Chains A and B, each alone.
Chain A
Amino acid sequence: MVGNVLGNRYEVLERIGTGGMSLVYRARDITLNRLVAVKILKHQWAEDPEVVRRFEQEARAAASLVDRHIVQVYDVGRDEPDIHYMVMELVAGETLRAKIDREAPLPVRTALEIADQVAQGLEVAHARRLVHRDIKPQNVLLGPNGEVKVTDFGIAYAATTGTLVNTGSLLGTVQYLSPEQARGKLIGPQSDIYSLGVVLFEMLTGRLPFEGDTPIGVAIKHLQDEPPRIDKLRPDVPASVANIVERALSKDPAERYQSAHAMRLDIERVLHPEPEPEAKPALGTQEPVEEVPHRQRVAQSKRAAKPRSQWPGILVGAVLGLGVLGMGAYAFHRWLNPPIVTVPNVIGKPIQDARVMLKKHGLAAMVAGRASSQRILPNRVVKENPAPGTRLKSGETVSLVLSSGPTTLALPGVTQESYYLAKQSLEALGLRVHMRAVASGQPGGTVVRQLPAAGRVVAEGSVVTLWVSNGASASQLVMPNLIGLTMPQAARLLQHTHVTLASPISEYSTEPPNTVIDQNPAPYSSLDGVTTVSVTLSHGPSPVSASLPVNHSKVRWIIPKSAPPKSLFKVVVTDPAGNEEIFYQQVNPGEHVIYHVVWYGTQAQMVVSLNGRLLPAESLKSTVSPSPSPSPSPSPSSTPSGAPSSSPSPSTTPSSGQSG
């Protein structure tokens, strides 16, 4: 498949993944000259009209989804002979699976940010009545800038439902399967929310809520067992976060979040809580000040009334869990004290106006403190306690927190915005903006990256650097192939990109001297984020190999009849130039094994083993008289190193053409 051009447009470059029914390749879109991913239905499925129909139908459904948290499907097509393919956005990066395997448990904030973005993708899909059905870390891709993208929309549907009649696929993972999916009941958006809950659980704890020896054991646990509480497994996870996971993992879909949006709101409340006016948030980096919806304020004001000293230093995220407690306290309070007036909403009002409004309601006002705010002008109310909507006895006092202005402020996210608007809004916040043009996949003028990142708290007057797409896109520009070129040639080729050549290193090579033999990043890789390319130049042949004769030996063995079938046969040849060649082959008794070795020098050492048992050591001796080596072919398979590393050791069988 590699090297093929599909639909006269997509040049297949290399395989990057394998799925149950398809293979995924990196490819170049010749028309737009950009890198893409091409998913090709495995040919054994390609002749099944039912499978093909679903593959195409679902690809079209997925192609209708456009969101930065969903891997974009660009095109669907077929090519002779019976190749069915889907062209998708190529995401440079890794799967969440890889990240979890390597790093879990992840920091709470990281896990929430990933879940938040997955939920955003789901929200868009659900709005189009497309349920993913197979949310799992393997289907979540992490881009280089921390961008999270969900992939395989709809494909999962084709692969797992009864509508794809009786293909009898093998059950994949059931670790993320919702109870209703296990039972075969109707599924909906809540099924994806359950799966996302499992993923979040796994990110936070490094383990799964339900584990078992067999898929069925796991599936049954999804139906019957309560998941462990996250904050029991990992005490530094705030209760608010544990609550989000617990709700997402409710057995009954009706008890889960009813939409991805609802789940996001809770996640974002933890990520961006409103700070306490009395005490700065205890999280290491300051949290951005955010306006929060009305209901949340009620909860927070109650929290303020009930100091929770048992959560020192914990993520401000504790807000949500405590909010629940607060609600209870609120109800209790109301029961004891029949409400008389309702606290008006004075948030955002100048202090004078706020006093007047409160007074009209028969309430007194008291300034309890000041807090910086990104959005609310100085001397206006940032927060009131009790919160708006609370019912109080007339005559009671409402304490107000006033804005001290944005002395420090949380950076808004401006990526994906136009540079013009981004600059305006940042400057309005008292920030200075530096712009850097960059080639990227975005339309010209789009902000593709910002530093510091969104949510970071910065001081007024700080510089924010924005990378702005210059219209030529990075994914259209791929790294040119420099191999075989001289430095000036390479530099010329790079002129029209923003990539510069790093000073080269040299290595001995049989390639012509002063030509590029290796480059990093590799040819045709994306230029996204790449500023320099390092190259390796040929220094000409190694002095050692140049002065040593080159030998081509054909060595033969006959595998003993007594050997077990499918034995592992291994040969290691070491020559004085330090080349080591290793040769593996699975062999059967009586088989003739022929091996062609290229080696330098007068004598090379050969170590042969069968199933790990060493056979008698042998050495290869040169039949060529020592002379400079203009070896025409074949070229040595490994790069010679600079100096001879070993002298030939004594040997018993001095000839090549041994049988062993």
Chain B
Amino acid sequence: MWAVAFAGGGTRITVRTYGRSHRGLRRPNNEDAYLIRPLADDGVLVAVADGVGGGPAGQEASRLALETLDGAVAGKVTDIALLASAVSLANRRIYESSQRDDALAGMGTTLTSAVIFPHRLLVAHVGDSRAYQLGEEQLVRLTVDHSLAGEMEALGELSAEEAQNHPNRHVLTRVVGPFDHVRIDVTDLPWTARDRLLLCTDGLTAVLSDHDIWESSRRFSGWDLVDSLIALALERGGPDNITVVLAESVPEQGDSHGR
């Protein structure tokens, strides 16, 4: 767990981050990975990646994506363009590795990354991992799944339920790595200390609805929230690797450690 303190609006606010990745119950290995990196300028970079391409290739892709992202950001992100270019660099790095090694040909990964500043959130996203804003009143999905079902849902062609039950819901339309260019969705939005940020891979959302996540997030926080979400996904079969990263802002005073 990382805790980053920043001075915001007079009171000191601490962002605490929690991340866990579980192999799940049905997959032979874990192709997911996550990254939590405190930044120099009062921010924290978080990301999840879900490798595509089977076994070692998937693992290599997600690992390489996060490693590149981390290196490119180099402890400092000032704006969304920088975050996006880091994702773009990750794409290039994976693409080139896959060109060199036959066993890695076609590998790719989802990559959902975010930088939390005291009053601002940056998100760069490719694939079907998700970022949620857990507000006080509601849960907001900040990303569109780059799958056939997800994009059709975003365009209003499918209902959320139809998309959830789509047989091709895991077939991706965009991932980082297989081609020399990738289109990246970016968001730059205001943020408050009351908002919590949840990043997760589709191992969670394949079996949990937005409503399930919202219910859990009202009851739990910190490690409890992360673990309860993973436990629920496992209870429902744990068909895929499950990765959850949570970032919460808490006031400096009082007991703020994850329980």
Q: Which residues of A contact B (CB under 8 A)?
A: 18, 20-21, 42-51, 160-163, 165-171, 174, 181-184, 214-216, 219-220, 223, 566
Contacts and interface: CB of A to CB of B under 8 A. Distances in A.
B54 A220 contact: no
Contacts of B171: 160, 168-171
Contacts of B166: 162, 183-184
Given A44-B53, A171-B168, 7 more contacts: A47-B29, A162-B167, A165-B170, A170-B52, A170-B171, A183-B162, A220-B155
A167 B148 contact: no
Nearest to A566: B96
Contact of A168 (B26, B151, B167, B172): B172
A158 B128 CA distance: 20
A45 B168 contact: no
B103 A43 contact: yes
Given A219-B148, A223-B157, A161 B168 contact: yes
Given A162-B169, A168-B52, A48 B28 contact: yes
Interface stretch (B55-63, B130-138, B215-223): B55-63
A21 B108 contact: no
Contacts of A182: 148, 152
Contacts of B28: 47-49
Contacts, number: 117
A44 B56 contact: yes
B52 A18 contact: no
Given A165-B239, A184-B167, A170 B178 contact: yes
Contacts of A20: 106
B239 A166 contact: yes
Interface string B229-255: 000000000011000000000000000
B165 interface: yes
Contacts of B50: 168
Most buried by A among B57, B110, B167, B172: B167
B54 A51 contact: yes
User: Which 7 A-B residue pairs are closest in the complex by CB-CB distance?
Assistant: A184-B166, A166-B240, A44-B54, A44-B55, A45-B54, A216-B151, A162-B167
A205 B178 CA distance: 30
Contacts of A170: 52, 106, 108, 171-173, 175, 178
Tier of interface size on chain B? 35 or more
Contact of A47 (B55, B108, B167, B172): B55
Interface string B57-85: 11000000000000000000000000000
A214 B173 contact: yes
Contacts of B91: none
Contact of A166 (B163, B173, B203): B203
Contacts of A220: 152, 155, 157
B142 interface: no
A49 B27 CA distance: 8
Nearest to A20: B106
Interface of B: 26-29, 50, 52-58, 96, 103, 105-106, 108, 110, 128, 147-149, 151-152, 155, 157-158, 162-163, 165-173, 175, 178, 202-203, 206, 239-240
B152 A219 contact: yes
| Interface of chain B: mostly helix, strand, loop or mixed | loop
A168 B163 CA distance: 15
A43 B55 contact: yes
A70 B87 CA distance: 44
B192 to A, nearest CB: 33
A184 B158 contact: yes
B148 A169 contact: no
A168 B170 contact: yes
B55 A167 contact: no
A214 B154 CA distance: 14
Contact of A161 (B108, B163, B167): B167
A160 B239 CA distance: 16
A163 B173 CA distance: 19
Given A47-B29, A168-B172, A171-B171, A18 B152 contact: no
Contacts of B151: 216
B170 A184 contact: no
Contacts of A215: 148, 173
Contacts of A166: 27, 170, 202-203, 206, 239-240
A216 B105 contact: no
A51 B53 CA distance: 12
B54 A167 contact: yes
19 contacts: A43-B55, A44-B53, A45-B55, A50-B27, A165-B206, A165-B240, A166-B202, A166-B239, A168-B50, A168-B128, A170-B106, A170-B173, A171-B172, A181-B168, A183-B152, A183-B162, A184-B165, A184-B168, A220-B155
Nearest to A19: B106
Contacts of A174: 148
A168 B152 contact: no
A417 B214 CA distance: 68
Most buried by B among A18, A48, A171, A566: A171
Contacts of A50: 26-27
